Amino acid sequence: MKKPTVYITTNIILFILFLSLFLFIVFDYTTNDLAWFDMEVIHIVQQNITPTLTTMIDRFTFLGSVRWIAAAVLIVMVLLVLKKKYALAIYISLASGVGALLNWSLKHYFKRERPAILPLIEETGYAFPSGHSMGSFIFYGSLAFVIIHLTKRTSMKWAVAIIMGLLIFAIGLSRIYLGVHYPSDVAAGFLVGAIWLMLTIMVFHLYEHFSNK
């Protein structure tokens, strides 16, 4: 099997898997079958709440906010343009920009209210899927893709992938700790973010393929 075939097949399998898991969450939360899961995870995450930890996590969750990601996208775009990597600059802006519109659309379609168990900060808007989780997955995932695309060192590629992966997971976890999202919101945000990220990377690879002909 040729490499392009393996790549496309793997992406199709992952796309179907992630989409199936997302639809599973949608079905189960609308029928309230995931209530036990959400409550159990919230209890585990929130059982060691302290004022100091809350302050730290509240600042950390900012790394997944719209304001921070918008500013970070702009900074990365400028750096890429200065490096004359115009295609990558457009890629990262569209990945996060269109991803944000997709999240807004899904939130207003499902209209799930936020949990009212033990919110430690105030948030407005709908909960499903988590915007911080989805936005972080898309931005930090696309940033990892850009860095991996530009570097030749295998160790650097792995380091970037691991660091970005841990950051994305931690931001999602922070939303549960702060009581502004159900765990199923966060999981759905990760899944939709992963699906969108995969699609954008595939489109970018197609662009490279045809532009190099």
pLDDT at 2 over 70: no
pLDDT in tens, 104-141: 999 999 888 888 777 777 777 888 999 999 999 999 99
| CA separation for the pair 205, 195 (Å, rounded) | 16
| CA separation for the pair 200, 92 (Å, rounded) | 9
Average pLDDT rounded to a whole number, residues 155-159: 90
Give the pTM: 0.89
| CA separation for the pair 107, 43 (Å, rounded) | 25
Residue owning tokens 């400028």: 78
Cα 147 → chain centroid: 17
Residue 102 pLDDT class (50, 70, 90 cuts): very high
pLDDT in tens, 47-63: 888 888 888 888 889 99
One-letter identity of residue 103: N
Average pLDDT rounded to a whole number, residues 148-153: 88
DSSP string over 9-44: HHHHHHHHHHHHHHHHHHHHHHTTTTHHHHHHHHHH
* Residue spans per domain, the chain: 3-211
Tokens of 113: 């209210």
